[in-house]
Chains A and B, each alone.
Chain A
Amino acid sequence: MPEAVIDIHDVHKTYRRRIKALRGVSVRVERGQIVGLLGPNGAGKSTLVKILMTVVRPSRASGTVLGHAVGHKPTLRRVGYLPEHHRFPPYLTGGQVLDFYAALAGVDRSTRRVRAAELLEIVGMTEWKDTCISEYSKGMMQRVGLAQSLVNDPDLVLLDEPTDGVDPIGRRDIRDVLNRMREDGKTVLLNSHLLSELELVGCDHVLIMHQGQIRVEGSIDELTHDSRRYELVIVGDVPDWANAQPEIDVRPTAMNEPGMSMLVVSGTEASSIQPLIDRLRADARTIVRVQARRDSLEELFMRSVINRETGQVDAPGAYTGNGGGA
Chain B
Amino acid sequence: MRVFGAMLVDAYRELNSKKLFWVILAISGVVVLGYGSIGFDAAGVSIGFGIWHVESEFLYDGSVLSTIFYRSIFASFIVAIWLTWIATILALISTTTVFPDFIAGGAIDLVLAKPIGRLRLFVYKYLVSLLFVVLQVTLFCIGIFLCMGLRVGDWDPLVFAAIPLVIVFFSYLFSVSVLVGVWTRSAITALLLTILFWFGLYSMNQTEAILLTVKTQFQLETEHAAERLAALEANAGDEPDETTTSRIAELRTEQQEAEDLVARLDTWYRLTAGIKAVLPKTGETIGLLDRWLSRDSDINIMDIFTGNVQADGNGQFSLGGRPDRDREAQRRVQAVYAGRSETYVIGTSLAFEFVMLGLAAWIFCRRDY
Residues of A within 8 A of B (CB): 15, 50, 53-57, 73-77, 79, 81, 83-92, 96, 99-101, 103-106, 108, 148
Binds A, one of B2-10, B31-39, B64-72: B2-10
Please, which residues of chain B bring their CB within 8 A of the CB of A101?
110, 114
Contact A83 B115 (CB under 8 A): no
Contact A87 B105 (CB under 8 A): yes
Task: Look across to chain B and name the residue whose beta carbon is closest to the beta carbon of A148.
Answer: B110
Chain A CB within 8 A of B342 CB = no
From A54, A86, A89, A105, B10 is in contact (CB under 8 Å) with A89
Please, which residues of chain A bring their CB within 8 A of the CB of B116?
73, 104
Contact A86 B115 (CB under 8 A): no
Interface residues of B: mostly helix, strand, loop or mixed? helix
Contact A100 B6 (CB under 8 A): yes
Bound CA span A88–B117, Å: 20
Chain A CB within 8 A of B237 CB = no
Contact B16 A91 (CB under 8 A): yes
Please, which residues of chain B bring their CB within 8 A of the CB of A76?
113-115
Contact B110 A73 (CB under 8 A): no
In the A-B complex, the 8 residue pairs with the closest CB atoms: A103-B6, A91-B17, A87-B106, A83-B109, A104-B114, A53-B113, A81-B113, A76-B115
From B7, B10, B104, B108, A55 is in contact (CB under 8 Å) with B108
Chain A CB within 8 A of B239 CB = no
Chain A CB within 8 A of B107 CB = yes
Contact A79 B2 (CB under 8 A): no
Interface size on B, residues (CB 8 A): 28
Contact B14 A91 (CB under 8 A): yes
- Known A50-B369, A55-B368, A89-B107; 4 more pairs at CB < 8 Å: A75-B115, A87-B104, A103-B3, A106-B2
Bound CA span A14–B365, Å: 18
Chain A CB within 8 A of B295 CB = no
Contact B14 A86 (CB under 8 A): no
Contact B113 A79 (CB under 8 A): yes
Q: From known contacts A50-B369, A81-B110, A83-B109, infer whether A106 and B14 are also in contact, taking CB-CB under 8 Å.
A: no
Please, which residues of chain B bring their CB within 8 A of the CB of A85?
105-106
Q: From known contacts A15-B368, A55-B369, A89-B10, infer whether A73 and B115 are also in contact, taking CB-CB under 8 Å.
A: yes
Task: Look across to chain A and name the residue whose beta carbon is closest to the beta carbon of B14.
Answer: A91
Contact A88 B110 (CB under 8 A): yes
B109-129 contacts to A (CB < 8 Å) = 109-117
Contact B6 A104 (CB under 8 A): yes
Shortest Cβ distance from B48 into chain A, in angstroms? Answer: 38
Bound CA span A56–B111, Å: 13
From B14, B17, B111, B368, A104 is in contact (CB under 8 Å) with B111
Contact B110 A54 (CB under 8 A): no
Contact A87 B107 (CB under 8 A): yes
Please, which residues of chain B bring their CB within 8 A of the CB of A90?
17
Chain A CB within 8 A of B322 CB = no
Bound CA span A96–B7, Å: 12
